[in-house]
Amino acid sequence: MSTQTKNRKILLAGVFGPFGVDDEFGRKENIMELFHNQVTKAQGVASFRFHHRSFGLYFIAANIDADVTVLDFPSRARFAREVRRGGYDIVGISFIAPNRDKAAEMARVVRSLSPSSEIILGGHGAAIEGIEQSIDCDHVVKGEGIRWMRAHLGQNPDAPINHPALRSTERASILGVPFLDTPASLLVPGVGCVNGCSFCSTSHFFGRAYTPFVATGEALFDTACRIADERGTDDFFVMDENFLKDRQRAVELLEAMERHRRFFRFHIFSSAEAITAFGLDNMVRLGVDLVWIGFESRSRQSLYAKNAGIEPRKLVRDLRDRGIAVLASGILCMEHHTPDNMQSDIDFLVGLESDLVQFMLLTPMPVTALYQDQKRRGLLRTDLPLQEWHGQTKLAYHHPAFSGDEPGQWMEEAFRQDYETNSSSMLRMVETAIRGYEHLSSLPNRDACLEARRRQFEKQARVWRLILPAVRRHAVNELERRRTDELSRRAEGLFGLRTWERLAGFGTAALAALWKLRLDVRGDGIQPRTVVTRYKKQSATMTGSRFGRQPMLEDQARRQLPPAAAAFSRLG
C-alpha cells in the first residue's frame, strides 16, 4: 500500500524526564525552564518559573493528516507504555544535543517494544555529527520538520502552514504567586535567521536562511486574531529568532492592527540592528512589551555585524523608558577572554541595566560555523559528554585560560553581580511598566493606538505592583528594599492604593513566604507535567487548502493551583 493512502499512526515525543537532575541521562543544569535555567536562576525565591512545551512537535502534528499523538515531558516508563500499547507505525523523537542520550534510550525502547515502528529523529540534536550511526534509527531530519514529514507521508509539502493555537507557558509563577490570567499564546512566524552569527545553532540548523510559517503581516494579523479569539487573550510570546528582521512584515502587521483597532501585545526576540531599523516608537505602537537582544560581548563587537554602530546602554534605556522590558544576553569565556579581561564584559552587561540578563558560556554546538572552525583547529572537547554541552559549567572547547568548573563559577558570579546591582528582575519589570505608562501619559497627543497602549501599561503596572510587598520582603539587599519603597510610592502617586490592593499585597507576601518555605524544604526543582495530545486523521488525502486541524483530546495531569491573592496578567 502506498504511503498516500495508508493512514499511518504516529507518535511524536519529546525526551523523557526527570529534567534538571544528575542521572544516567542528564545533568542538573538541563532544567526545563527558560528563565530559571539561564536568566533569573540566581534570584532564588524571585526567579521566574514556567515551562515551555516542545512546540515543534505540535506544529508537525497540526500540519500532517494522520492519527498523531504528541507526548510531551513523559517519564521513561510512560513513553515505553505508549510505544507498547499504541501500535505506532512511526515514532518521531525531538531532542537537542545535551539530550542525545535520552533520544538514544528512547530509540532503544522503540526497537525492543515495537520493532516494526519507523524511528525518525528531529530537532537540533539531529545536527550532531554521525548521529545516524550512533543512534539506531531510520531517518534523521536536519532542519525544518513539517515539510519533511509531509513529503515522507506522501502529502503536499507546500500546503499552507496551519498555525496551532497553543499556550506559550505552563504553570507560570513568580515569588510563588501564580499567574491566573489566560497565559499568552504562542506565535511562530518562522524559523531560522539569515544573520549566521558564528555560535548560533538556530541560524545554522536552518541553513542560515529564514523559513516563514506566516509570510506576510496581513496573514500574521489574521493568525493572531484567530488564536486570540480561540484562546481568549491578546498576548503573544513570539518564537521567532529575529522577528523584526523582516521589517516589511512587522510594518504590515502594525498597519493591520491600527486599521482594525485590534492591539495585540508581543514578547519578541530581535537583534539590535533590526530593532533600530524598525524604530523604538514603532515598537511601542506594535505592542512589544519585552524584547530579547543578543549584545554578546563589548570587547568583541566586531564579531557581530548586528551590533555595529549601536550604543547598547542607550538602546536599553530608551526601550525601558518606553515601557519595553529588555532581556540582554551575553557570552562568557570566549576565546579572547582571560581572567583579567572577562570582568569588563560582565560589567558591560550588568551596566546595561536591562530588566533581565542571560549569561551563557561560548559553546560550539554541532552544525555552527564556530563548531566547524574549532574542530578544524582541534579545540573541541571530545572528552566532554554531550549531556554537559549546556553552556553553564564547563567549556566544550579547550581554552588556555579557563579549565574545569571555573567557567561555571564565573557565570554564577556574573548572575549574582547582576542581581545584587540591579535587584530582582520583577522589580525592574514593574519599573519598566511604570516608565512606559508615564512616557505615554506625557505625550500631548495620543491616537487610538497609543491610547490603547497607555491603558495596557496602566493595567500591567497596577497589577504587577501588587507583588512589590513580596519583592521587598525577599529583597537581595538594602538597595533593593530602598528601590522597592521608592517604586511603591511612585506607583501610589500615579494610581492610588485601594484597600483591596493593599490586601492583595499582603496576599502576595504570604504566598512568597510559602514558596520560600517550599524551596528551603524541598529544593527548587519543578518537573513539568506530562501532556498527551491526540490528533485524529481528517481526510484520506490532504489538499492544499487551509484546514483547521485541532487536537481531539488533550490530557494533562492537573493540579490545583494554590489560592492566590493576585492574578498577574501576563509574562512569557
The beta-strand segments (E) located in 163-299 are 170-174, 177-178, 185-187, 190-191, 211-212, 235-238, 265-269, 288-296
Q: Answer for the pair 233, 459: CB distance below 8 angstroms, yes or no.
A: no
* Partner whose footprint covers residue 74, from ligand SF4, ligand B12, none (CB < 5 to 8 Å by kind): none
Segment contacting ligand SF4 by CB under 6 A, of 1-9, 194-202, 419-427, 496-504:
194-202
The number of angstroms, rounded, from the C-alpha of 95 to the middle of its chain's C-alpha atoms is 16
Handedness of CA 307, 308, 312, 315 (dihedral sign): negative
Please name the helix (run of DSSP H) or strand (run of DSSP E) that holds residue 461, with its range, or none.
Answer: helix 448-464
Q: Answer for the pair 255, 263: CB distance below 8 angstroms, yes or no.
A: no
Residue 185 in the binding site for ligand B12 (CB under 6 A): no
Residue 358 in the binding site for ligand SF4 (CB under 6 A): no
Q: Whole-number minimum distance, CB 459 to ligand B12, in Å? A: 27
Segment contacting ligand SF4 by CB under 6 A, of 107-115, 199-207, 514-522, 545-553:
199-207
Q: Which is nearer to ligand B12, 92 or 469 (CB)?
A: 92
The number of angstroms, rounded, from the C-alpha of 383 to the middle of its chain's C-alpha atoms is 30
* Partner whose footprint covers residue 30, from ligand SF4, ligand B12, none (CB < 5 to 8 Å by kind): ligand B12
* Partner whose footprint covers residue 94, from ligand SF4, ligand B12, none (CB < 5 to 8 Å by kind): ligand B12
The beta-strand segments (E) located in 213-311 are 235-238, 265-269, 288-296
Number of neighbours of residue 244 by Cβ within 10 angstroms:
26
Residue 241 in the binding site for ligand B12 (CB under 6 A): yes
Size of the site for ligand SF4 (CB under 6 A): 12
CA dihedral 170, 171, 174, 180 (to 10 degrees): 100
* Partner whose footprint covers residue 146, from ligand B12, ligand SF4, none (CB < 5 to 8 Å by kind): ligand B12
Q: Which is nearer to ligand B12, 132 or 255 (CB)?
A: 132
Within a 13 Å sphere around the CA of 565, how many CA atoms are in the beta-carbon half? 25
Residue 74 in the binding site for ligand SF4 (CB under 6 A): no
Cα(460)–Cα(570) distance, integer angstroms: 8
Closest CA to 571 of 175, 220, 197: 175
Of 225-264, which residues contact ligand SF4 (CB under 6 A)? 241-242
Q: Whole-number minimum distance, CB 190 to ligand SF4, in Å? A: 12
Number of neighbours of residue 311 by Cβ within 10 angstroms:
11
**Binder to ligand SF4 among 44, 196, 207, 212 (CB under 6 A)?**
196
* Partner whose footprint covers residue 271, from ligand SF4, ligand B12, none (CB < 5 to 8 Å by kind): ligand SF4
The number of angstroms, rounded, from the C-alpha of 220 to the middle of its chain's C-alpha atoms is 20
Segment contacting ligand SF4 by CB under 6 A, of 19-27, 195-203, 362-370, 482-490:
195-203
**Binder to ligand SF4 among 15, 61, 106, 193 (CB under 6 A)?**
193
Cα(86)–Cα(532) distance, integer angstroms: 13
Please name the helix (run of DSSP H) or strand (run of DSSP E) that holds residue 220, with its range, or none.
Answer: helix 217-231
Residue 61 in the binding site for ligand B12 (CB under 6 A): no
Number of residue whose CB is nearest ligand B12: 122
Q: Answer for the pair 61, 72: CB distance below 8 angstroms, yes or no.
A: no
Residue that is written with C-alpha cell 496581513 in the block:
218
Please name the helix (run of DSSP H) or strand (run of DSSP E) that holds residue 369, with its range, or none.
Answer: helix 369-376
Would you state the cell numbers that stand for residue 562, as one nine-digit string? Answer: 494554590
Of 373-402, which residues contact ligand B12 (CB under 6 A)? 390-391
Segment contacting ligand SF4 by CB under 6 A, of 137-145, 154-162, 191-199, 500-508:
191-199
**Binder to ligand SF4 among 40, 155, 169, 195 (CB under 6 A)?**
195
Q: Answer for the pair 474, 512: CB distance below 8 angstroms, yes or no.
A: yes
Residue 38 in the binding site for ligand SF4 (CB under 6 A): no
Q: Answer for the pair 107, 93: CB distance below 8 angstroms, yes or no.
A: yes
Residue 51 in the binding site for ligand SF4 (CB under 6 A): no
Q: Whole-number minimum distance, CB 200 to ligand SF4, in Å? A: 3
DSSP string of 489-540?
HHHHHHH---HHHHHHHHHHHHHHHHHHHHHHHH-S--PPPPEEEEE----S
Q: x/- site string to ligand SF4, residues 264 to 283, per CB under 6 A?
A: -------x------------
Residue 201 in the binding site for ligand B12 (CB under 6 A): yes
Residue that is written with C-alpha cell 535555567 in the block:
37
Of 68-127, which residues contact ligand B12 (CB under 6 A)? 92-94, 96-99, 120, 122-125, 127
Of 303-322, which residues contact ligand B12 (CB under 6 A)? none
406-422 and 342-351 helices, crossing angle to 10°:
30
Q: Which is nearer to ligand SF4, 114 or 307 (CB)?
A: 307
Within a 13 Å sphere around the CA of 189, how many CA atoms are in the beta-carbon half? 30
Q: Which is nearer to ligand B12, 86 or 92 (CB)?
A: 92
- Applying CB under 6 A, which residues contact ligand SF4? 193, 195-197, 200, 202-203, 241-242, 271, 294, 306
- Applying CB under 6 A, which residues contact ligand B12? 12, 14, 19, 30, 32-34, 37-38, 52-57, 59-60, 92-94, 96-99, 120, 122-125, 127, 141, 144-146, 148-149, 188, 191, 201-202, 239, 241, 365-366, 390-391
